[in-house]
Structure 1
Amino acid sequence: MNAPLSASLPPGNLAEAPSGPLAIEAIGLVKRFEGTLAVDGVDLAVPQGAIYGVLGPNGAGKTTTLRMLLGIIDPDEGVRRVFGHERPHDIARLIGYLPEERGLYPSMKADEAIAFLGALRGVPLAEGRRRGRELLEEHGLGHAADKTIRQLSKGMAQTVQLLGTLVHRPRLVVLDEPFSGLDAINQGKLEAMIRRLAAEGTTVIFSTHVIAHAERLCEGVAIIAGGKVPYAGSVDAARDRIPAQVRLETASPDGAWRAALPADARSEGRYWLFSLPESGIEPLLRALIEGNAGILSLSIERAGLHDAFVEIAGEAAARALQENSVTEQGR
């Protein structure tokens, strides 16, 4: 019997042990290419039905990690399991995979392209065509069913390939940089599609170098940099690594109440900025009121996933992530 991941991993490799059955688990995955270490000891645990992001700059090891998880390439070291199976090819019909390198036959009609991809996962061609037309209608592309791929816009062609990833109704969908090359409208449609899949019980894991997508969509993330995963766990736990920041505006510029402010408090014009005290905001509020500070405004701002990424992966990785995003927007 396979041991559960939480029992197999050394302490500290995961930010938290997920509860419930897992769709994907990885223990100490290592991959080298011609002597170069591309992935160095990756541990992951993705609960069934979750939306999970693999977040990191280009070249960090995201694609190599996903390909090892799916059995496209084998790790040099470590164990990977998909729905408990150590040989993902044995359950290929349960998996839908959209690679980073998009590719459809240009002369194929849209519904035929979807049917062809479904046939690779065991769906009869006639059934694939029927499902393909249904999916195209459902996603507002019914008019494109009889058009060839070369007649479609880039965004429409990418949607057709994504629908081909879903036509066999997989339980696990793996998307490698799915937002790359899409305009804002199509990115929004893809986000809605991912949410709908998860609502239906499908597990979705996607890689991205755009923090906003992961923050909006994911319950859990793995942050990957330099082939290592310094953090894997919930988005909330990642953000909670950085204390919330308090922004305080007072009518009184000075007074005995100043002694109640935390040691890291700094003034910026009319405002005081400081970390939320461990004791919470209520004791500080009492001291400010009793000291006649004259509170004009007070807000508590929780750290975002970008701040957490910088804290966990370092400024160099964060800069690389930002450069990837700028390059993507300029295309």
Structure 2
Amino acid sequence: LEPDLVGLGTIADIVPLTGENRILAKYGLRQLASTKKPGLKSLLQVTGLWGNELFSWNVVFVLAPRLNAVGRIGSAESAFELLTTFDHTRAIQMAKFLDEENKKRKKLDEHIFAEAIEMVEQTVDLENDRAIVLDSDGWHVGVIGIVASRIVEKYHRPTVLVSVTDGTGQGSARSIPRFHLLNAVKDASDHLIKFGGHKYAAGLCIQPENIADFRKAFLKAANSVLVPDDMIPTQKLDAELQPDDISMDLLNWLKLFSPYGPKNMRPIFFLQSADIIRPTKIVGKNHLRFKVLNSKQGFDAIAFGMGDMKPLIDNAIEPVHLAFVIESNNYYGYPQVQLRIKDIKIGDWKA
């Protein structure tokens, strides 16, 4: 048994982290942090994770994307070589190569995402259509699933993206909680060559001349099941905290329930009328950073992709409410509590 590889694979495969999976993931992460495998160690070094405590989200958002990137846009052999080589020099080379390939994959994501957004704004009736079906020549089939997930996140509608290459369309579909994606694809399957998937994700093949009819059938299925309220995203809250409840002690207590993942997600906390130091700051690619105060100290908070809310928060007269998870941030060289913001509400949070 190779605990580091088992833990890596278990978490990267997004399986429920309960029962034996949680045990394998927990001890796998511990072994991974001190692995002696040249490839894994090199990948941890290249990503800046070597020497740090590892969490499941480090695998999901940092390691796994680099291992998967080469398979998405080329050949997975490079990832296999990294994981199996005993040559330290070659391992460093491969880790750097995977890192560069992941950057290329991100650029592809951004390019296709921008094209898809433009198509939605120009061709989709967001007032009446409760699903989105887009197609284009030459979209890279290895990344359209990722982009479909981003479209779902932005518009909160079931989404199908189809890439037409060499006379055949290959599609990836993603869904929202109240819509069974595979059932809808089955309802429109007369227009497909083949398909497969489950409630939240599916893949399909289609002749280009059938895309328009598939779109009509898929929209019909979505419009018959979904109601306007389903188009409004909701944020589940696990518990309300008072400002002085936030502490390193709470963070350490929460670590006992890790590793977190499907069926064992990090609890999402709610803080009413947060005391925020203003003005807030925009960092990176439209991320919002600010401090939240309690009676004893201030805590860093980061809201990814929420930079557009800066003027609303900075000028808010009504209370600002926060939904967040608590995590550790070693930015200053030692662990500190950080709030990763999941949602921000100004005024009546129940409205």
TM-score range, shorter chain: under 0.3
More strand by share: 1
User: Which of these two proteins has the greater Rg computed from alpha carbons?
Assistant: 1
Calculate the TM-score normalised by the size of structure 1: 0.26
More helix by share: 2
**Larger RCO, structure (CA 8 Å, separation 6 or more):** 1
